[in-house]
Structure formats: structure tokens, C-alpha cells
Chain A
Amino acid sequence: MEPFVFFIFSILTLGGALGVVTTKNLYYAALFLIMSFSGMAGYFVLLDAGFLAAVQIVVYVGAIAVLILFAIMLSRKVMTRNEPLLNRQWGLGLATAAIFFFVMLAVPLNVKWPLSNEVSSGNELVQLGLAFLGSYVIPFEVVSILLLVALIGAIILARDTSDVEVE
């Protein structure tokens, strides 16, 4: 059963990803991206990380993908020009990605990982909470500051300064 589910999610994820990079239309690319993200949420469920799956949906599908869609729409004049999306070096890029894939394939096929057969107790949300306010409290705070800074930075960068003339 599980392998079957895995393959479905793999098709969603990898197919979506392929769609993102191959389609000529940016709208479709963004929609494929959402599909890929949803597949990954399924992955996380399979990996006993239900909370992370929820986060994946909320943050990636709900926030980042929508943000990207907004950006696409705000810059839609570009889309109508109908020029090719790929650049001049796309062939080299494809080769690099392919070589990377095959080189990296050596790792999962060769390395013997120190696998563990224990099964977690299933209260991973409690553990996450404890860890975030325990040993990871400083990274946690730093990330919150980072998000704040990113928020302010984004506002300042994206603000339209053309109509804020001298009053």
C-alpha cells in the first residue's frame, strides 16, 4: 500500500516540478509549483511528519505560491511579449543538472546508513514545541527576527516611490 501511495505522491511532486521548468507559460508554471508542493506535503505525511505537512500546505501553497502568482500578475506585461523563457545556456544547464543527478545517485545507492528501527511515539508536535522553546530557542528567536527584517525589507523594496514626491 505505502509504495503505491509513494508513487502517487512522487508523480505529483516530480511531475509538478518538471511542469514548472518545462512549461512556456508562467501561470502554468506557478500552478504546477502548487501541485508539486502538495505532493511534497503528502511525502511528509508518509514520513510521519504531519505537522510539517500542514506547514508545507500553509506556507508554500498558501503563502509563497500565491505570492509568486501575485508577482507574475504584477509583471504581466512581460508575459505578453511571448518570448522564449529559456536563456542561451539552457543546454549546459540541462547537462549540469543531469550530471548532478547521476553523481548524486551514487550516494543513496552506495552508502550504508546507520538505520534505526525504532518507532517514534507519535507526539512529534509536543516534541517540536519543547525543542523550539528548549534547545533551539535561540535559532527560533533569530528566525523570528529574520522574518521581521525580511518583512520590513520587502515593504521598503517594493514600495512605489514614484508618487512619493516632495510634498
Chain B
Amino acid sequence: MTIPLSWWLISATALFSIGLYGVLSNKNAIAILMGLELMLNAVNINLVAFGRHITPLEVTGQIFAIFVIAIAAAEAAVALAIIIAVYRQRTSINVEQLDSMRF
């Protein structure tokens, strides 16, 4: 039997929520980034699952997933570069200490 669409969606929702928790509750920038990656992947699962179950003859879902992956790769590269630059400046990647952008 094929897996019903709702299972995929629930699984993706769970993954997204876990990622969201990781983003909201960590103070280490790299950990936040990992949470973000989880969220992006949850979206990918959604896209592909919808594509598989609603328009199985087209590959639109997968195309968008690939775009998401490409953009996530770009984002990860830039984010990690920023993290390293910040670390070099302040010897810390704790986002709680990076609060110079307030009034």
C-alpha cells in the first residue's frame, strides 16, 4: 500500500515544529542554523509529497524542492561565513551577546 498523503504531512509538520523549537530556543548560532535546515527540509517533504499525490504526472514539486535545496545551500554557506566572521571578531557565537543592534 502507498502511504497516504496525511502521514507525510503530519511527519513534515512534526519535523517543522522540531526545527522551530530549535531555532527559537538555542542560543548557539550554529544550532539555530541546524534548526533552520530542519525546517527547510520539512518544507521539502511537503512539496514532494504534494507533488506525488496531487500531480503525479508532473515534477513541479520536485523542481521546487531542488530550488529550495539550492537556496538552502547558499544560505548555509553565507550563514556559516557570517558565523565565522562574527566568531573571529568576538570569540563568541552566542546570539544573546550579539545585541548591539538595539536602540
Contact = CB atoms under 8 A, between A and B. Distances in A.
**Touch between chains A and B, by CB atoms below 8 Å:** yes
Interface of A: 2-3, 6, 10, 13-14, 17-18, 20-21, 26, 29-30, 33, 36-37, 40, 43-44, 46-49, 51-52, 55-56, 59-60, 63-64, 67-68, 70-72, 74-75, 77-78, 85-90, 92-94, 96-98, 100-101, 104-105, 107-109, 113-116, 118-121, 124, 127-128, 131-132, 136, 139, 143, 146-147, 149-151, 153-155, 157-158, 160, 162
B56 A52 contact: no
The DSSP consensus for interface residues of chain B is: helix
Residue in A48, A89, A157 with the greatest tally of chain B CB atoms within 10 Å = A157
A112 to B, nearest CB: 11
Given A20-B34, A60-B41, A78 B28 contact: yes
A29 B25 CA distance: 14
A71 B93 CA distance: 11
A32 B68 CA distance: 21
Contacts of A37: 41
Given A77-B91, A105-B10, A143-B70, 10 more contacts: A14-B14, A17-B18, A68-B33, A86-B25, A104-B16, A107-B9, A118-B56, A120-B57, A131-B63, A157-B85
Given A60-B37, A78-B94, A17 B30 contact: no
A85 B96 CA distance: 11
Contacts of B75: 150
B56 A116 contact: yes
A158 B87 CA distance: 10
A13 B15 contact: yes
A164 to B, nearest CB: 13
Interface residues of B, number: 77
Contact of B30 (A40, A71, A108, A155): A71
Contact of B70 (A43, A107, A147): A147
